[in-house]
């Protein structure tokens, strides 16, 4: 039965797309070796969809060792703990312009998507393993739906997706590979900043990655003993009624409240963690001229939320207390994306890689995301359960306010009068 399900999968393509994540090579190596040991061929395409989306059999041919590599076992052995990404990555978006099912029949809007399809078919690929974040999952779903719309006699390849993001905001899986490494790396940086703040009686406003959800900022805040963490899930506390925009002054006042509460407890220092995605909720005038990537995302690094908020908090603190305080804005994130992977991420990434083999060969699946639960037990989630069928947009998994994880962060940070009721029992100062 197993042989029949995977009989047509003889040549497999691996694509890594989007931002880097620790343990990327564990995923690639485990997936590749699984197929090679079973006598199947594995191609690794360089730099995501960059070359595939421009494919043309005459004008832009895809060449081995230039645009892709044919893996051997020696390429993939002993690299699971290595930094970086063996085949590189990029944010190229072959589905740019597609916003609904009807667009899949539009020749102009699907030009680059069709180029990817033709390239893989012309290279004799039987299955695509897509590794990436929610935008990459969206592209994988486009390729599946595009093939579903073709004539019955048209050649096809199966598509499975492996979830990757240090932001950990994926539906369908509890934790994504790279998340714990990023948390561990940035938490250690946060502890250094906390010691510096203590020594100098100052504050650091630390902006961490986390465009759409607060998992990373909360993880860093908990492990790094932050005084306060504010993620995307908390934005409603700083949004005026009837508005969708973050009020920078309300956010600043919240941090000043924290500073005053800590001073009452003889603590004249602290570290505040902010999720970078809060910047996307700033008033429109604050975002004018900020560039966007191929997926339409604002370049958050250009805004530097940490520095912006530290200036506002400093001014607000002086206005309310008549005193000055040193506040420094810091951005953390890029340093963690290719750091040495945490052992758990290596195990998780390896299981997801092997899950790609099992999904295609043992289960005979198409249009599924590989996931794990419990003690790395493999699961396979259909794309249809992760993506809105009308908009074709992936669903983001937020931290649920009032959940045990959310309450954990709230209980460990410095609470003010407005925060009463978060923790069990009488309040104990812990940071």
**What integer pLDDT is reported at residue 294 of this predicted model?**
55
**What integer pLDDT is reported at residue 330 of this predicted model?**
94
376 within 8 A of 192, measured Cβ to Cβ: no
Examine domains 2-176+341-385 and 179-337+400-419 and report if their fold is the same: yes
What are the sequence ranges of the domains in the chain?
2-176+341-385, 179-337+400-419
Phi, psi values for residue 38, rounded to 5°: -100, 15
94 within 8 A of 138, measured Cβ to Cβ: no
199: Cβ contacts below 8 Å, ≥ 6 apart: none
Facing residues of 203 across strands? 270, 327
Q: Taking the C-alpha atoms of 253, 254, 258 and 263 in order, what is their torsion angle to the nearest 10 degrees?
A: 10
Phi, psi values for residue 170, rounded to 5°: -90, 135
As a whole number of angstroms, the distance between CA 268 and CA 266 comes to 6
CATH for 2-176+341-385, among 3.40.50.300, 3.40.50.450, 1.20.1260.10, 1.10.1270.20?
3.40.50.450
147 within 8 A of 32, measured Cβ to Cβ: no
316 within 8 A of 253, measured Cβ to Cβ: yes
**What integer pLDDT is reported at residue 83 of this predicted model?**
96
**What integer pLDDT is reported at residue 427 of this predicted model?**
42
pLDDT one-digit tens code per residue, 219-256? 999 999 999 999 989 988 888 877 778 888 999 999 99
As a whole number of angstroms, the distance between CA 196 and CA 342 comes to 26
**What integer pLDDT is reported at residue 5 of this predicted model?**
79
As a whole number of angstroms, the distance between CA 260 and CA 268 comes to 9
356 within 8 A of 34, measured Cβ to Cβ: yes
Give kind and range of the element (H or E) at residue 88. none
Q: What is the pLDDT along the chain (431 residues), one digit of tens a residue?
A: 345 677 899 999 999 999 999 999 999 999 999 999 999 999 999 999 999 999 998 889 999 999 999 999 999 999 999 999 999 999 999 998 898 888 988 899 999 999 999 999 999 999 999 999 989 999 999 999 999 999 999 999 999 999 999 999 999 999 999 999 999 999 999 999 999 999 999 999 999 988 789 999 999 999 999 999 999 899 888 888 777 788 889 999 999 999 999 999 999 999 999 999 898 887 765 554 545 555 555 555 566 889 989 999 999 999 999 999 999 999 998 899 999 999 999 999 999 999 999 999 999 999 999 999 999 999 999 999 999 888 888 888 999 988 999 999 988 887 765 555 444 434 444 44
The C-alpha angle 63, 64, 67, rounded to 5 degrees, equals 65
**What integer pLDDT is reported at residue 416 of this predicted model?**
67
Please tell us whether the domain made up of 179-337+400-419 is placed in CATH 1.10.630.10.
no
Work out the percent of the chain whose per-residue pLDDT is above 70.
90
Output the six-digit token pair for 16. Answer: 């890594």
Facing residues of 394 across strands? 387
Residue whose C-alpha is closest to residue 361's, from 373, 376, 378, 375: 378
As a whole number of angstroms, the distance between CA 317 and CA 72 comes to 61
């Amino acid at each position: 039965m197993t042989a029949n399900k995977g009989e047509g999968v003889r040549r497999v393509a691996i694509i890594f797309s989007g931002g880097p994540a620790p343990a990327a090579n564990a995923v690639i190596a485990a997936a590749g070796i699984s197929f090679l040991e079973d006598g199947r061929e594995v191609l690794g395409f360089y730099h995501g969809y960059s070359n595939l989306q421009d494919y043309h059999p005459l004008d832009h041919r895809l060449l081995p060792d230039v645009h892709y590599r044919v893996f051997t076992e020696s390429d993939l052995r002993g690299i699971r703990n290595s930094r970086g990404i063996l085949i590189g990555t990029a944010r190229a978006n072959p589905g740019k312009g597609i916003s609904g099912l009807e667009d899949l029949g539009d020749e102009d809007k699907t030009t680059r998507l069709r180029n990817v399809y033709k390239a893989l078919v012309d290279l004799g690929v039987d299955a695509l393993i897509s590794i990436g974040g929610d935008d990459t999952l969206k592209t994988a779903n486009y390729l599946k739906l595009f093939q579903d719309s073709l004539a019955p006699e048209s050649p096809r390849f199966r598509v499975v997706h492996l979830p990757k993001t240090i932001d950990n905001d994926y539906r369908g899986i509890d934790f994504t590979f790279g998340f714990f490494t990023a948390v561990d790396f940035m938490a250690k940086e946060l502890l250094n900043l906390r010691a510096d703040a203590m020594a100098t009686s100052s504050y650091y406003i630390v902006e961490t990655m986390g465009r759409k959800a607060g998992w990373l900022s909360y993880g860093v805040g908990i492990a790094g003993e932050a005084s306060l963490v504010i993620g995307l899930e908390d934005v409603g506390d700083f949004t005026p009624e009837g508005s969708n925009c973050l009020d920078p002054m309300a956010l600043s006042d919240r941090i000043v409240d924290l500073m005053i509460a800590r001073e009452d407890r003889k603590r004249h220092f602290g570290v505040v963690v902010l999720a970078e995605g809060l910047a996307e909720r700033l008033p429109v005038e604050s975002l004018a001229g900020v560039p966007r990537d191929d997926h339409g995302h604002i370049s958050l690094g250009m805004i530097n939320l940490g520095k912006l908020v530290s200036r506002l908090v400093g001014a607000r603190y002086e206005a309310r207390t008549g005193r000055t305080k040193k506040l420094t804005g810091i951005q953390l994130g890029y340093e963690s994306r290719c750091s040495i992977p945490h052992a758990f991420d290596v195990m998780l990434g390896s299981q997801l890689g092997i899950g790609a083999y099992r999904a295609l060969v043992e289960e005979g699946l198409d249009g599924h995301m590989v996931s794990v639960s419990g003690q790395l037990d493999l699961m396979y989630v259909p794309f249809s359960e992760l993506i809105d069928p009308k908009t074709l947009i992936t669903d983001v998994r937020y931290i649920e306010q009032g959940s045990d994880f959310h309450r954990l962060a709230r209980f460990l940070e410095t609470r003010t009068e407005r925060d009463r009721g978060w923790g069990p029992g009488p309040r104990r100062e812990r940071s």
